[in-house]
Structure 1
Amino acid sequence: MSRRFTIALVVGAIAGYFAGVANCRLTSEKKALSSEHILERVKSAVNDQLPIEGAWIYLSPHIWSRDSLNYMVYKGGLISSDRGINRHFDFIADAHSGTILELTAQH
């Protein structure tokens, strides 16, 4: 009985180790970019179409759902000025890539 227990203990420890290593890899692959980095990517992506005068972003990402899919996102806003008229846009950007998932003009 003692030998079976020792074998089970060793096998369990090895399996636990490899599960922990796999979990660390998945966690690091899914780590969100910083809010500052995302904001710079968003501003770069829209700069050709909108002259950006100001921008803001929430500092922490959160889960956002669309079409039954969940995304880790940052929310923020842009202010664009065209011929003296300021326009405000809200955006939602993927926290891992900076891809703009939604850009909405506010009236």
Structure 2
Amino acid sequence: MSEKHRFLPFKTGIVLGAGIGIAAGVCGTLYIKKHQNKKPDQILEQVKKAFLAEGPIEGSWIEHEAVFIDQVVQEAKAYSGGIVRYEDDELVVYGFLAEASTGTLLSIEQMEGSNL
């Protein structure tokens, strides 16, 4: 048996193992990115951008701890926050709830007694 043929299975095994390792790494990264929550500050920036399209805002906040909420189909995590803006020369406070994994706004409502 020549030297060339003796190491061929070894080289094939290394190439095969490296290929499987790379594929597993890519799949793992994609899975983690898909199931990872968005950062609360990113979500707040999205909400602020939407509110700024209608006029200036005075302040904003978001809770950095996601809470579980019951949706119709399944339970999900969400961040709560708020936006303060002037409307008709009065400060008005809006509260919002955004899904943690996608940043999708689930609800926006004017807070009771928010006219200061």
| TM-score, normalised via structure 1 length | 0.68
Shift of 1:28: 3.7
Say which of 60, 67, 80 aligns to 1:75.
80
| Contact 1:42–1:98 (CA under 8 A) maintained in structure 2 | no
- Could you tell me the percent identity over the aligned residues? 24
**Which one has a larger percent strand, Structure 1 or Structure 2?**
1
| Contact 1:42–1:93 (CA under 8 A) maintained in structure 2 | no
Once superposed, what is the RMSD of the aligned Cα atoms? 2.4
CA distance, structure 2, for counterparts of residue 48 and residue 85 of structure 1:
19
Shift of 1:78: 0.8
State yes or no: 1:65 paired with 2:31: no
Higher relative contact order (CA 8 A, sep 6+): 1
Give 5+ residue unaligned stretches, structure 2. Answer: 1-24
Shift of 1:25: 5.2
Structure 1 counterpart of 2:89: 84
Q: Deviations over 1:80-102 (max 9, x none)?
A: 11232010111001212222110
CA distance, structure 1, for counterparts of residue 99 and residue 44 of structure 2:
11
Q: Runs of 4 or more off by more than 4 Å in structure 1?
A: 21-25
Structure 2 counterpart of 1:45: 50
Give 5+ residue unaligned stretches, structure 1. Answer: 1-20
